[in-house]
Structure formats: structure tokens, C-alpha cells
């Protein structure tokens, strides 16, 4: 059986499950970025304050895109903090004021997220789901470049 957009319903259900896990991670990542933006201190304050804002603005767009992709696949996106906390691999960070520590957290969060994006990309290919594959491919490309830049910053 195929869903409205022509994807096998069982494969779509599996994709929805993985997308919801990614959604949970992005929600925790977003909150981590907000906390870093608000609380960062030190000589790199101005640079990192703006960078964390750039990252959280991007993350909130991705949260919406992932949720809408889940709906397109005829699933229901997670939408409670209880679901996010229960299902995310990204951990909530609190009280971080040091810039280097903050950047390391962002690197760790991006590394967690990119692994899930690669899994979803593979599953989308198997399901012949070009929409999800395209979305994940774009996210992976952005994440790889960002990770390279953050690693360069930390050297």
C-alpha cells in the first residue's frame, strides 16, 4: 500500500519514526543554542553570541521543516517537551558560560544530529522518498561545513 505521495506506507512509517527522533534532537539542540546565546561570557562574547543566534535561527527552521515532512508522510510529529526529552540523544545543557565549552557542545550536538541525518538519508533512498532524501542531503551538507568551521575555530 502506498500513501498519498506514493511512498510505501510501512517505509513511510519507519521514516516518520526516525524523523521524530531527529526532531527531538533538533528541539534540544535549539534550546541548548538559546542558552549558549544568552549566557556566554568572555573575550569571544560578541562573536559567539551572534554565531549561536545564527545557529538557533537555522535550527528552528529545520524543526518546522522536519515536522512538516513527518506530516507529509502521514505521520504525527512529536510536539511536547516530554516527547523531546524522552527521545532525544542530544542532552540538555545548562549554565554554560565558557565559549570553548559552548562550541564543543555545539560540535557534539551537530555530530549526533548528522549521524541521524545519514541514517534517514539511507532509509529515504530505500523508500524512493526523494523529498526526505533531498532534505537530509541539504542538512548533511550544511552540517559538514559547519563542523569543519567549528573544528577550525577550536584549533
pLDDT in tens, 20-42: 999 999 999 999 999 999 999 99
- pTM (predicted TM-score): 0.97
Note whether 80 and 24 are within 8 A (CB). no
Helix (H) or strand (E) holding 107: helix 99-126
CA-CA distance, 12 to 10, in Å (whole number)?
A: 5
**Cell numbers found for residue 62:** 529545520
Q: What is the pLDDT of residues 54-97, one digit of tens each?
A: 999 999 999 999 999 999 999 999 999 999 999 999 999 999 99
CA-CA distance, 43 to 146, in Å (whole number)?
A: 22
Choose among 39, 26, 30: nearest CA to 101: 39
Domains of the chain (ranges; CATH) run 9-154 (1.20.1260.10)
Amino acid at each position: 500500500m502506498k500513501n498519498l505521495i506514493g511512498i510505501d506506507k510501512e517505509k513511510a512509517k519507519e521514516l516518520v519514526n526516525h524523523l521524530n527522533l531527529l526532531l527531538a534532537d533538533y528541539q534540544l539542540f535549539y534550546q541548548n543554542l538559546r542558552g549558549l546565546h544568552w549566557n556566554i561570557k568572555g573575550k569571544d562574547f560578541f562573536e559567539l553570541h551572534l554565531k549561536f543566534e545564527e545557529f538557533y535561527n537555522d535550527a528552528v527552521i529545520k524543526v518546522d521543516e522536519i515536522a512538516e515532512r513527518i506530516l507529509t508522510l502521514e505521520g504525527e510529529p512529536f510536539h511536547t517537551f516530554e516527547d523531546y526529552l524522552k527521545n532525544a540523544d542530544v542532552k540538555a545543557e545548562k549554565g554554560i558560560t565558557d565559549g570553548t565549552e559552548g562550541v564543543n557542545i555545539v560540535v557534539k550536538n551537530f555530530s549526533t544530529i548528522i549521524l541521524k541525518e545519514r541514517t534517514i538519508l539511507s532509509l529515504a533512498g530505500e523508500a524512493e522518498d526523494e523529498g526526505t532524501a533531498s532534505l537530509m542531503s541539504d542538512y548533511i551538507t550544511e552540517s559538514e561545513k559547519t563542523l569543519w568551521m567549528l573544528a577550525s575555530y577550536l584549533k
